[in-house]
Structure 1
Amino acid sequence: MYTKLGEYSKALFFSEKALDIRETTYLTNLPDLAISYNNNGSMYANMGQYSKALSFYEKALEIYEITLPSNHPDLATSYSNVGSVYNNMGDYSKALSFYEKALEIFQKTLPSNHPSLVTSYNNIGLVYDCMGEYSRALSFQRKALEIREKSLPSNHPSLATSYNNVGLVYNNMGEYSKALSFHEKALEICQKTLPSNHPNLAIAYNSIGSVYKNIREYSKALSFHEKALEIFQTILPSNHFDLAISYNNIGSVCNKMGEYSKALSLHKKSLEIQGKTLPPNHPSLATSYSNIGSVYDDMREYSRALSCYEKALEIYEITLPSKHPDLAISYNNVGVVYNKMGEYSKALSFHKKSLEIQREILPSNHPLLATSYSNIGLVYVNIGEYAKALSFYEKDLEICQNAVPSNHPSLATSYSNIGNVYNNMREYSNALLFYEKALDIREKTLLSNHRLLATSYNNIGLVYKNIGDCSKALSFYEKALEIYEITLPSNHPDLATSYSNIGLVYNNMGEYSKALSFYKKTLEIREKTLPSNHPLLSISYNNIGFVYNNMGEYSKTLSYYERALDIKQRALSPTYRRI
């Protein structure tokens, strides 16, 4: 009961009492003792204490191996338990080994349509999914689905579970229309057969919300995640773990929508619940710290983001094996912030730690490896080592081309990154080629007012500006601005950048009054949203001063240049001395 309520410490207390009684009452190799070991293992697994969970599961397995025939179903269940812990620890090869042992027993002893076979296929599919081997994952999830389709009525809730599992794999593969189709089948069954507040209905809503988030239809994603939350709030205690997950889901969508205060509030609610119900070093706490860090990162509050990411990393380093994929992700998060803070050597160090783990434990074409290559490439761009940047971006692109469909958003990002390098290398024809590849994917797959389309329009506008084709540059910059004005708050930093881009083109075209108008729009946003000594303010003052200089209004020119200089001087160390 306490386990269902998410009160794992209380559940563990009673489970340990039962174990204590059995250890003092029974011989150490009796099946009853194995049951207690399994119960304790389950409690520790729920609490994220995987090494302790593994210890208890292995004790249970040892008893079963001594007392049961080699093909006994309880032995198979015990292998599955051990496999589940290894999966949570990120040791996928061991997880697979134990799950396959369980499957072998079930295949020999059970009818071909037995539910335990379905569970085994699901477990193995889950491991392959975590390993990024999506075709294998899909194969096992489809085997599970096939059994259920043959043996169950068409509206059975377990069939909904299988549809959902297949949908999850398609979601990870980037085949979002297929993912949505399977998740909607699952939802349809749940709506017909389950009470309106059943947790499986909430799971279906969350799954659909996740797909909409990935295709960046955030309002739809929010709607489905909120439906899930409504169910959980109705049926669960206020400190239940599943509520924390729901708050995190909605918080992540709000973050993508630029609603940072809401996102922070929701992630902090999640963290508060987890802090009350979980041990202080539970991996789920690290996830919440990472989510909060992500919001601060998007708000450009990098010191706060770094603090949260470091808290997450500290938990992972204590609780996870040194080669766990979540540890690699955590190193990447820290590296990303250091890169944005301009601390490039630290950024490289963390990204390379991440890459080292991923190369050791993941297949060579895993999407997380592509992310690491991309992150390292970006650092090399920022330190001006474009040849190295290009090398890492090309590795990222190679994985994406092999791992995802030809119109996947990740491919567009890879093309765009390579375009950035060529633009910085002043190889504008190559830059334009890759930017146009990115744009082609985005125009085919995204809504017409999607912000990534604006990014592509800006990139192409930048190339045309660099080759002196001001009319084409202006056309693409205006397309980007149109999207930003529709989708962003009126004081968003990307809107300020867009105004600045257009101002620069008008300045180059000699249309100084228009240039001034756009530069002042940029300045207005930056004065409202940035600290008074922010470097971007200095750039804005400098740009306006430059236009006034071109217009021959020298007193105004001097005034703005002095403001720009004042910020630069305040940013320098008090001991700085120009030589």
Structure 2
Amino acid sequence: MSTAYVGMSKYSEALECARKAEEQLQKRSDPDPTSLGRYKRQIGLVLQKQGNNVEAIRYYEEGLALAYTDTDNEEESLSIAYFNQGDAYMKTNKFTEALSSYQKTLEIELRALPDDDPTIATTYVKMSEANLKLSKYSHALKYAHAAVTQLRLQSNPDPTKLSQYLCQVGHVLYKQGKPSEAILYYNECIVSISTTVGHEDESLGGIYYRLAECYSELNHDVEALSFYQKTLDIEHKSCDDDDPTIAVTYHKISTVYKNMWKRNEALKYAYDAVNQLRKRPNPEAIQFGQYLYHVGTILQILGRHSEAIRYYQEGLTEILKVKNEDDKSLAPIYFNVARTYLHLQNFTEALSCQQKTLSIELRTLPDNAATIAMTYLSIATTLTGLQQYDKAAEFSQKEIDQLLKTLPSDHKDVLEQKLHAFSQQLKIPIDELHRRLFKFKANYMKVQQILAIKLGGHRRDNIKLTVSDYELKSEKINSMISALEVFHDTVMKPLSKTILIDKLKTDYCMEYCNVVNLECKHDKQSAFEEKNYIFRS
């Protein structure tokens, strides 16, 4: 009776009958172990149908153990029980145990079933899925191929099954980092199934989605968009209006457009993803928070910082319903929010977010992580905005010390940050310092050309500028600080060898002092007159 009720999907009645059968048998002084094992396996099956996989596993284990205490030769029954036990293990994330159960199923099937039986293919694909969950990709691929080969032993293999198994091969290849090969199997999968259901059947939605993922991985954005759109079209026809799966596809399309720098299109689909989730009274918090945050990142790129902050705040509120404030995954979110606050010159809020980022990074990242250096720099920039120059200089130095854990002292990144730290010490914004340096270089090179003409070619080496163009380019600052510090020794002293150049010395000393905000003892008016004299001559 229990088996009949299972066929009618009346699981409560089925469970009641199975339990009564077990109880009745247990009343005997010497119950038949074969029958007792069969009844326990039946209880396990009904519990599994009800979704109670943990209890189902217990009854399967007890029932299968009893099968070996007697001459139970019902191999088909045992094969099914092991298979169902494997499924229950998969549902409870016990993948190693699931693999063991499927292996026992396969051993019985290979011994008892015809060579071309499609049931064997089903077990192969289950073993592939279990191995994939265990990240055993080579084994997963082996069994996926075996499933396809086994099914093709039939003259007319089921196209739906064949499509499923081809899709599994593609999925494993994608996980192995081989999207180009995966695409071949996904396309073959589509050919197999579309011959019977057409190109717009809902069963194709998942395959189109996986194809889109492969093309996206290969940075083939146009193809990725095409298949995401096909996925979306099928989802609109086959899914409920508030299905969150539709939001996932919207989000994927937005991400591709963002990568293509089509920001308005990216924003449209990002809004669509958020609005799709809002249709549900209680959307999943992490997903909802991430999609809100994604909208914020696009608004930030578009320069709409006030709107971006609103979405960032709402997204964080959702995420913090599930995660702690100091969760590792929140560090990059806090960092981006801080950048937006900086654009709005809300330095206090920016600093708060940066401090949260730093706290997480110091706790969770390796001691020499370059990301920590970026956070130190961000904090230094914010403190400059707050006119807390001493603290800004302190964090600039921390950034340099962090970089030096992995980079040599003459690396351009280290030198760039030394210049930034130098600007903090001088209380001059970095952009202003660059402006002054370029102004100084432009003026100096102009005078250098005139002096070269006046002194003759044989004297050019005496007045050669020792700070090269490369060393003074803002994007590749190299030894800028040391160049400033030794400027008088490397440039001014050689220039003073001639009377003509000596007339310019006071003027360029003033230029240097202006760069570094020092008081210059020279008379500015006389220097100005001397400069005019030289240029008139």
Q: TM-score range by the shorter chain?
A: 0.5 to 0.7
With over 3 angstroms needed to count, the CA separation of the structure-2 counterparts of 1:180 and 1:302, relative to structure 1, is: same
Which secondary structure does the structure 1 equivalent of 2:240 belong to?
coil
Mapped contact 2:400–2:414 kept (Cα < 8 A): yes
CA deviations over 1:57-107 (Å, ceiling 9, x no partner): xxxxxxxxxxxxxxxxxxxxxxxxxxxxxxxxxxxxxxxxxxxxxxxxxxx
Counterpart for residue 400 of structure 2? 512
2:22 to 141, 147, 153: 153
Q: Aligned equivalents of 1:263 and 1:143: distance in 2?
A: 37
Pair 331,120 (structure 1): closer, same or farther in 2 beyond 3 Å:
same
**Aligned residue number for residue 392 of structure 1:** 272
Equivalent residue for 1:546, pick from 397, 409, 413: 413
1:203–1:228 contact (8 Å) kept in structure 2: yes
What is the CA–CA distance in structure 2 between the aligned matches of 1:333 and 1:199, rounded to whole Å?
32
Aligned counterparts of 2:365 and 2:122: Cα–Cα separation in 1: 36
Residue 237 of structure 1 and its aligned partner are, at CA, apart by 1.2
Q: Which amino acid aligns with 1:330?
A: I
What amino acid is the match of 1:284?
A: K
Q: How much has 1:462 moved relative to structure 2?
A: 4.4
Work out whether residues 206 and 224 of structure 1, in 8 Å CA contact, stay in contact via their aligned partners in 2.
Answer: yes
Quick one: structure 1 residues 297 and 371, their matched pair in 2 at CA, closer, same or farther if it must change by over 3 Å? same
Structure 2 residue aligned with 1:236, among 93, 97, 109? 109
What secondary structure sits across from 1:363 in the alignment?
coil
Label 1:274 to 1:187 Cα distance change in 2 as closer, same or farther (>3 A): same
Tell me the equivalent position of 2:47: 163
Return closer, same or farther for 1:270/1:454 CA change in 2, 3 Å cut-off: farther
Question: Structure 2 CA distance, aligned partners of 1:254 and 1:464?
Answer: 42
Give 1:292's aligned residue. 169
One of 406, 410, 416 as aligned partner of 2:290: 416
**Counterpart in 1 of 2:422?**
none
The CA distance in 2 between the partners of 1:194 and 1:556, in whole Å, is: 82
**Gap change, CA 1:371 and 1:180, over 3 Å in 2:** farther
TM-score of the superposition, structure 1-length normalised? Answer: 0.51
User: How many Å separate the matches in 2 of 1:200 and 1:556?
Assistant: 75
Q: How does 1:7-86 map to 2 (within 5 A)?
A: none
Shift of 1:329: 1.0
One-letter code aligned to 1:153? E
Indicate the SS of the match to 2:241: coil
1:438 aligns with 2:319: yes
- How far off is 1:166 after superposition? 1.7
- Aligned position for 1:337: 214
Cα 1:204–1:116, aligned 2, differ >3 Å: closer, same or farther? closer
| Higher relative contact order (Cα pairs below 8 Å, separated by 6+ residues) | 1
| CA–CA separation in structure 2 for the residues paired with 1:292 and 1:163 | 32
CA deviations on 1:226-248 (whole Å, 9 max, x unpaired) are: 22133123212186655544454
C-alpha separation in 2, matches of 1:283 and 1:518: 54
- In structure 2, how many angstroms separate the alpha carbons of the residues matched to 1:471 and 1:209? 44
SS of 2:110's equivalent?
A: coil
Q: Hey, what's the Cα distance between the residues in 1 that align with 2:190 and 2:369?
A: 38
Q: Which residue of 2 aligns with 1:474?
A: 358
Percent identity over the alignment is: 14
Cα 1:551/1:291, change in 2 over 3 Å: farther
Is the CA contact (8 Å cut-off) linking 1:289 and 1:308 kept in structure 2? yes
CA distance in 2, matches of 1:557, 1:278: 75
Amino acid at match of 1:223: T
| Distance change (3 Å), C-alpha of 1:258 and 1:184 | closer
Deviations 1:446-504 (A, max 9, x none): xx9xxxx754554445445665543321333456648xx9xxxxxxxxxxxx9564453
- Give CA-to-partner distance per residue, 1:507-559, whole Å, 9 cap, x none: 54531342365689xxxxxxxxxxxxxxxxxxxxxxx753454357999999x
Report if aligned partners of 1:374, 1:396 keep a CA contact under 8 Å in 2: no
CA contact (8 A) 1:145 1:163 kept: no
Decide which moves more: 296-305 or 413-422: 296-305
Q: Partner of 1:268 in structure 2?
A: 145
1:367 Cα offset (Å): 5.3
Shift of 1:400: 6.2
Residue in structure 2 matched with residue 110 of structure 1 by the alignment: none
Query: Counterpart in 2 of 1:303?
Result: 180
Alignment gaps of 5+ in structure 1 = 1-112, 122-140, 168-178, 214-220, 486-497, 521-543, 562-579
Unmatched 5+ residue regions in structure 2? 24-38, 70-74, 301-307, 342-349, 379-394, 420-466, 477-537
Q: Secondary structure at the match of 1:153?
A: helix
Going from structure 1 to structure 2, the CA distance change for 1:301 and 1:339 (only over 3 Å counts) comes to same
Query: Deviations for 1:258-312, whole angstroms, at most 9, x for unmatched residues?
Result: 5544443443344343444574673333223323333343444332232232222
Report what 1:120 is aligned to. 8
Which residue type is aligned with residue 8 of structure 2? S
Structure 2 CA distance, aligned partners of 1:501 and 1:421?
Answer: 24
CA contact (8 A) 1:396 1:414 kept: no
What is the alpha-carbon distance in structure 1 between the residues aligned to residue 176 and residue 235 of structure 2? 29
Q: Is 1:324 aligned with 2:201?
A: yes
Match of 2:32 in 1: none
Contact 1:264/1:292 (8 A) holds in 2: yes
TM-score by length of 2: 0.55
User: CA 1:293 to 1:229, structure 2 compared with 1: closer, same or farther past 3 Å?
Assistant: same
- C-alpha distance after superposition, 1:7-65 (max 9, x if no partner): xxxxxxxxxxxxxxxxxxxxxxxxxxxxxxxxxxxxxxxxxxxxxxxxxxxxxxxxxxx
Q: Does the 8 A contact of 1:267 with 1:291 survive in 2?
A: yes
Cα distance in 1 for partners of 2:309, 2:131 equals 37
Moved more, 184-193 or 331-340: 184-193
Q: How far, CA to CA, are the matches of 1:270 and 1:389 in structure 2?
A: 38
8 Å Cα contact 2:362/2:372 also seen in 1: yes
Q: Provide the residue aligned with 2:230 in structure 1.
A: 353
What residue in structure 1 maps to residue 253 of structure 2? Answer: 376
Q: Distance in 2 between matches of 1:296 and 1:416?
A: 28
Aligned pair in 2 of structure 1 residues 183, 391: CA closer, same or farther (>3 Å)?
Answer: farther
* Distance in 1 (alpha carbons) for counterparts of 2:405 and 2:48: 52
Number of residue pairs matched? Answer: 361
Provide the C-alpha distance between the structure 1 equivalents of 2:333 and 2:176, rounded to a whole number of angstroms.
Answer: 22
Deviates more, 1:344-353 or 1:472-481: 472-481
**Greater C-alpha Rg:** 2
Secondary structure at the residue paired with 1:236? helix
Cα pair distance change 1:151/1:376, threshold 3 Å? farther
* Root-mean-square deviation over aligned CA pairs: 4.4
CA distance in 2, matches of 1:191, 1:336: 42
1:207 partner letter = D
Matched, 1:201 2:81: yes
AA aligned to 2:292 is I
Q: Following TM superposition, by how much is the alpha carbon of 1:335 offset from its aligned partner in structure 2, in angstroms? A: 1.9
Cα 1:507–1:288 shift into 2, 3 Å:
farther
